[in-house]
Amino acid sequence: MIDLELFRIFKAVADEEKLTKASEVLNISQPAVTKHIRNLENELNVQLFTRSKYGMILNENGKKLYNEIKIPIEILLKCKDIFSINEDVNLGIHGNMPKKIYNHFITKYYDNNKNSVMNIHILEATDLFSRLANMKIDMVFSKRYSEELYNTQEIKFIKIGELHDVFIVNSDSKYLKKKITRKELKNTTIYTLKKFSSAYQNLVKVLEYNDEEVINIENVNFTAMIELLNVRDVITVMTQEYVEEKIAKNELSILDVGFSLPNAEYGIYYNVKNKSQKINNLIKLFTSGV
């Protein structure tokens, strides 16, 4: 019995007339395309193409086969696309990200995929990238992290929007009553997220530490920063959108230091080795209108 996949590959090569272009369309390597064409010719016991420096041109046997399978293969591919759109999706989201930032995209997904399920995995950054690398989740929705955290040849980031990293203190803080200079900030312990976070990297960049200075920054997790703000008068740097409710309730305040930190990007991460149509559909869905 001949594998129907061989006919799909045959049609792609016939349409493109070049192995390189066919491999791009099929999302498989050129040697694999060549092997599959040879397998089909061996199964049928005929040659299907005239091979030359100009490409792969159908011979008389190839033209006869192409005319027979063209429409059936197109129908089968259409059916595959219909059902692949409705595959369940595993989306990874960083644990600190507020639902209001990503709920719109989940709603958008269900509006376009009424028979599918999106499984949400709330994880820490290192776990997100580990699972994405192993293709245990399909995509990650998160702030942009330092590239030292993942393999940039394998995992790619697409920006969707921006968030705002700001200096946060409690609403009774002594720091709110005076103008703090950049030098004073460097001499004050500031609490922020881990070194691969945008908050840490932006803070170090803006305070312009030189090689001889001790970086006076403590790295703690988001929950620890909130606890510190509840019990001590400290300065933190975190994403404003993550604590907007507490700011609105006057539990926390934004500290005006006379300058702004660079905005933090957020968007989607995907694994380039995952060639499924499901991933292409997700990328189009999440980035439409961006």
Residue 6's nearest CA partner among 28, 17, 267 is: 28
Per-residue pLDDT tens over the stretch 79-102: 665 555 456 889 999 888 888 888
Tell me the residue ranges of DSSP E strands in 18-176. 49-52, 55-58, 89-94, 118-123, 139-143, 155-170
Q: How is residue 160 written in tokens?
A: 């969707």
pLDDT at 104 over 60: yes
Residue keyed to tokens 């500290």: 255
pLDDT confidence of 46, banded at 50, 70, 90?
very high
| pLDDT score recorded for residue 224 | 93
CA distance 262 to 241: 14
pLDDT confidence of 290, banded at 50, 70, 90?
low
pLDDT confidence of 8, banded at 50, 70, 90?
confident
Residue keyed to tokens 């509840």: 230
Residue keyed to tokens 């609105």: 248
CB-based contact 195:219 (threshold 8 Å): yes
Computed on alpha carbons and rounded to an integer, the radius of gyration of the chain in Å comes to: 27
- 225 burial via Cβ count (<10 Å: 0-12, 13-18, 19+): buried
The residues pairing with 122 across neighbouring beta strands, listed in sequence order, are 93
Between the CA of residue 106 and those of 120, 158, 216, 260, what are the distances in Å?
Answer: 9, 17, 39, 31
Per-residue pLDDT tens over the stretch 234-280: 999 999 999 999 999 999 999 999 888 999 999 999 999 988 878 88
With a CB cutoff of 8 Å and minimum separation 6, the contacts of 174 are: 233
Residue keyed to tokens 């993942």: 150
Per-residue pLDDT tens over the stretch 146-195: 898 999 999 999 999 999 999 999 999 999 988 888 889 988 999 999 88
CA distance 70 to 143: 45
User: Which domains can be identified in the chain, with CATH numbers?
Assistant: 4-85 (1.10.10.10), 89-161+266-287 (3.40.190.10), 163-263 (3.40.190.10)
- 251 burial via Cβ count (<10 Å: 0-12, 13-18, 19+): middle
| pLDDT score recorded for residue 82 | 52
CB-based contact 246:225 (threshold 8 Å): no
Secondary element (H or E) of residue 218: strand 217-219
